[in-house]
Amino acid sequence: MKFLVGYNGSAEAKAALSLARDFAKTFNARVIVMASMEGGAGEKVEDITQAKQNLREAKDFFDEQGVECETRQMARGLTPGEDLVRFADENQIDQIFVGIEKKSRTSKLILGSTAQFVILKAPCPVITVK
């Protein structure tokens, strides 16, 4: 089995990471932790560095329990939701884990919701964590 975790270092993403690790131990699954950035000239060096650090910490989190994990930092010009869904489809992912951040209705309308997009478009089951 292959699990995919969308990870940005937030408390909600850490909760998704923890649940994915528990599931991976139970089902002897391999986990891919992915940080998605749109890329291009608008990307800040600090954001790229932070994403790399977040992925290193996520890898260590899985290594502590002996759970097979790989990390991916993506910058394919897609939104994080699009990136997660496309990656899941291209790599035959069995389950996606994402954290849900509380947003106001206005914020969702203007900025959209990564988790909502993944839930609606993913080619496999999605587990969301608050």
35-85 pLDDT, tens digit per residue, is: 998 776 677 889 889 999 999 999 999 999 999 999 999 988 899 999 999
Q: Show me where the domains of the chain are located.
A: 2-129
* Three-state DSSP class for residue 70: strand
Taking only the tens place, the pLDDT of each residue in 79-128 is 999 999 999 999 999 999 999 887 666 555 444 588 889 999 999 999 99
CATH of 2-129, one of 3.40.50.620, 3.30.1440.10, 3.30.360.10, 2.30.42.10: 3.40.50.620
Q: What is the pTM of this model?
A: 0.91
Answer for the pair 123, 114: CB distance below 8 angstroms, yes or no: no
Assigned token pair, 2: 């292959």
d(CA 95, CA 123): 9
